[in-house]
Amino acid sequence: MSDAPLTSVSIAAQIRDGLIEAETVTRACLGRIDEAEEQVQAWAHLDADFAVQQAQQLDAVRGAADVVGPLHGLPVGVKDIFDTVDLPTENGTVIDAGRQPEEDAFVVSQLKQAGAVILGKTVTTELAVYAPGKTRNPHNPAHTPGGSSSGSAAAVAAGMVPLAVGTQTNGSVVRPAAYCGVFGFKPTHGLISRTGVLAQSRVLDTIGVFGRSVEDIALLAQSIAGYDDADPDSRLRARPRLLEIAGEEPPLDPLFAFVKTPVWETATDETRAAFAELSDFLGAQCDEVPLPDPFEQALDCHRTIICADLAKNFARYHRAGADRLSDTLREMIEEGQKTLAVDYNRAVDWIAVLNAGLERIFERYDAILTPATTGTAPAGLDSTGSPAFCTLWTLCGTPAITLPLMQGSDGLPLGVQLVGRRGDDARLLRTARWLAAHVEAAER
């Protein structure tokens, strides 16, 4: 919906060099929102004056200092399940209408420290599960943008904001990014702290990012990663050099394992044909690799974990107003209330088993190549589409990225998903940048 907008990396460089002001960038984003928001409806909370004031303060800082943060002056959209002290956080439910947090989420604090402009809060589905919010697909408003990070993906796709953050507990970053035709990255589980973010499942919840290029998402993810002792899955380590490594050329041309996964039969004929063509295009650099039988357990394990964890973490919503929850969410909570502890623990134990199986693949291949979704964004706004092609990778906690490299016959984007070894985020981003450049060069 915009004519080749600048990447975040290039905008940040221009702000840093004094060639453009943060206020100019912010006002351009607000102008684009004025043009497109009535159709796309990506924003839950937006205060234009507050956004401009942030940008003006950042411009004053840049004028007085030689060193600025890596996101200095860049507007960022924040999914409305991240606590923000300056803006409401309503979690996509009427039960939390008017909720005003007293502290920022860890990620929001990191964004501010890096110099970002918190442009506004983007729409989420109900409690970041399945019931859709108001957002529509920017490419065709009669189609879903996906979910649950629907507003974040759509806002970036519509050119309203260069970067956005979201979350994934099943397919909530990769799927909307694929449907909306942007780059979406779900890092390794635990790389980015979840403190101050609506909790669904400690085992599955992961912070993700959206942008217009691999470099964009590398810049954003690197800027918000960091140790947080309040998140039990955060680990003390050096900040990952995602942007630097993503921009390097691989020492050897990467090898791809084309993995259909146990849900291949749910893919549309068009999706299957497109991935067969992509595999042929890569030739000797791509082999079809079957997954062992234990991977058939993945979807059931994920279901067991998420329903039980929703029953635990959403108990207050169920008590406060079960009748105000969607039927789907209420049924998932009530299913989780009946889950036996032994079944939950067995499901969690499968994660280590499945990652051991993936290790055999990553001993030879740089990345797994697989669909991001069953097809292009479905028509209608009463569903966010199937997350089936994301479920396995979320369960395993592996990094995954979707690239907007293909298009369906309906003119809507069709995403290509790459999956890397757990903890090998930078290498995955480097491989993704190589593939995007390789495909783009072939299309010229």
pLDDT at 107: 98
Same-domain status, 238 and 262? no
Same-domain status, 169 and 264? no
Q: Which of 246, 276, 294 is the last residue of a domain?
A: 246
Domain that holds residue 335: 256-397+415-443
Residue 323 domain flag? yes
pLDDT at 177: 99
Same-domain status, 74 and 128? yes
pLDDT at 4: 53
Give tens-digit pLDDT for 157-186.
999 999 999 999 999 999 999 999 999 999
Q: Do the beta carbons of residue 44 and residue 167 sit within 8 Å?
A: no
Residue 251 domain flag? no
Residue 276 domain flag? yes
Catalytic residue selected from 79, 112, 121, 186: 79
Q: Which of 246, 271, 300 is the last residue of a domain?
A: 246
290: domain CATH number is 3.90.1300.10
Same-domain status, 213 and 130? yes
- Our count of domains for the chain comes to 2
pLDDT at 3: 46
Same-domain status, 205 and 297? no
pLDDT at 36: 98
Query: Is 8 one of the annotated active-site residues of the chain?
Result: no
pLDDT at 444: 80
Query: Is 223 one of the annotated active-site residues of the chain?
Result: no
Same-domain status, 299 and 234? no
Give tens-digit pLDDT for 405-421.
999 999 999 999 999 99
Query: Is 149 one of the annotated active-site residues of the chain?
Result: no
Catalytic residue selected from 8, 109, 148, 150: 148
pLDDT at 5: 67
Same-domain status, 117 and 172? yes
What is the 3 state secondary structure string of the chain? CCCCCCCHHHHHHHHHCCCCCHHHHHHHHHHHHHHHHHHHCCEEEECHHHHHHHHHHHHHHHHHCCCCCCCCCCEEEEECCECCCCCCCCCCCHHHCCCCCCCCCHHHHHHHHCCCEEEEEECCCHHHCCCCCCCCCCCCCCECCCCCCHHHHHHHHCCCCCEEEEEECCCCCHHHHHHHCCEEEECCCCCCCCCCECCCCCCCCEEEEEECCHHHHHHHHHHHCCCCCCCCCCCCCCCCCHHHHHCCCCCCCCCEEECCCCCHHHCCHHHHHHHHHHHHHHHHHEEECCCCHHHHHHHHHHHHHHHHHHHHHCHHHHHHHHHHCCHHHHHHHHHHHCCCHHHHHHHHHHHHHHHHHHHHHHCCCCEEEEECCCCCCCECCCCCCCCHHHHHHHHHCCCEEEEEEEECCCCCEEEEEEECCCCCHHHHHHHHHHHHHHHHHHHC
Same-domain status, 77 and 202? yes
Q: Report if pTM > 0.75.
A: yes
Catalytic residue selected from 172, 213, 223, 386: 172
pLDDT at 188: 98
Low-confidence ranges of the chain (pLDDT < 50): 1-3
pLDDT at 443: 87
Give tens-digit pLDDT for 357-381.
999 999 999 999 999 999 999 999 9
Residue 330 domain flag? yes
Q: Which of 246, 278, 310 is the last residue of a domain?
A: 246
Residue 72 domain flag? yes
